[in-house]
Amino acid sequence: MGIPVRAAVLQVVNGPFAIDEVELEPPRTGELRVRVTASGICHTDLTYRAGAGRFPFPAVLGHEGAGVVEAVGEGVTDFVPGDAVVLSYFSCRACGTCTRRHPAYCEHGYAGNFSGARPDGSFPMRWQGEPIRSSFFHQSSFATHMLAHQHNAVKVDASAPLELLAPLGCGFQTGAGAVLEAFRLEDGQQLAVYGAGAVGLAAIMAARVAGAARIIAVDLSAERLELARELGATDTFLADEPELTKTILKRTRGGVDFALECVGLPQVLRQAFDVTRPLGTCALLGLPGRGAEVSLPMSALLSGKKLVGILEGNADPKTFIPRLVSLHAEGRFPIEKLSRPYAFEAINDAVHDMETRTAIKPVLHMHGGRTP
């Protein structure tokens, strides 16, 4: 028998979230029932709300959950009820890609994260008696309780501030992981970040941790650039400044070691590529629209420049999230400056504030909380 819980049910593309009672199955093999303390909202939730997943609604989204384990299924060895956990993306931990330590590119990653169902196609929640898509990133954390998997759960200290740590599982991990895990940026190197949202600002904080000599932030908003500066950016530019590429090339004496595109637009990727120095690396982190293409000067690639796409910062959450938690505790990864708390009931306000860029990282508090 399942238990009654409350979830934000999305019934139609771009529709409002309606908080209603759903029935949550008992945990199956490898699963954990987690009482969700808080969940961040990520841009991927918004693109899936807009129909990017092409799966039928109703659905429960949310994939930056954190909470406390209430019950465990068969075969769970590393978690017991009462454990505090931060959830991240799902990987099978067994395929060729996972065993080569690239869980972000797991061969079962699509089914386990983006189908809205479990990897075997089943659904953990029922709404009005019918099964609904409710295993987004093996979480569906826009709910008071969810079924996660031992493979996407990371144990944290029982006293850890879960409301703050919830968004570590996706957006913050993506930006910080790109710098610390994918690039392994070293002391004295130069980085440029296009897009000062949650992902870009996490990259900027991580670059400061790594000792970057120059951290350039580019965004359309002066306010965001101000925050980027506070978090470690040394040079900031409005994205619509004329001759921007030329200015950055001059300022960096020939380009940056690493450039990050955190927006998902072809023209921005092209700019990031153009400010990357010979032998440097330009990476795409932003989610492009379906079918988007970019054109590049082929000769520039022959300078040894690399262009790569990075998912989830190339990070393994089992080791990287504990590292971010430590950096946060040391005050070196001050994510609270990007987060804004909302009561679960205010989820539609939170989405609105994110879409209008008035909130960088809304965090829903599932069991009572304050609204800004």
Q: Is 325 in the site for Zn ion (CB under 5 A)?
A: no
Asked if 178 interacts with Zn ion (CB under 5 A), we say: no
Binding of Zn ion by 98 (CB under 5 A): yes
User: What string marks each residue from 43 to 72 as x (binds Zn ion by CB under 5 A) or -?
Assistant: -x----------------------------
User: What is the contact mask toward Zn ion in residues 343 to 362, using x (rule: CB under 5 A)?
Assistant: --------------------
The rounded distance, in Å, linking the Cα atoms of 240 and 268 is 11
- Confirm or reject binding of residue 95 to Zn ion (CB under 5 A): yes
When the beta carbons of 98 and 363 are compared against Zn ion, the nearer one is: 98
Contact 67, 128 (CB under 8 A): no
Stretch that binds Zn ion, among 37-45, 288-296, 326-334, 342-350 (CB under 5 A): 37-45
Q: How far is the CB of 235 from Zn ion (least distance, A)?
A: 28
Cα–Cα–Cα angle for 231, 287, 118, nearest 5°?
110
- How many residues interact with Zn ion (rule CB under 5 A)? 8
Please report, as residue ranges, which positions from 275 to 304 form the binding site for Zn ion (by CB under 5 A). Answer: none
CB nearer to Zn ion: pick between 95 and 244: 95
Q: Does 164 bind Zn ion (CB under 5 A)?
A: no
321 scored as a contact of Zn ion (CB under 5 A):
no
Q: Applying CB under 5 A, which part among 42-50, 191-199, 343-351, 364-372 lies near Zn ion?
A: 42-50
- Pairing outcome for strands 214-219 and 190-194: parallel
202: contact with Zn ion by CB under 5 A: no
**Chain residues in the site for Zn ion (CB under 5 A):** 42, 44, 91-92, 95, 98, 106, 170
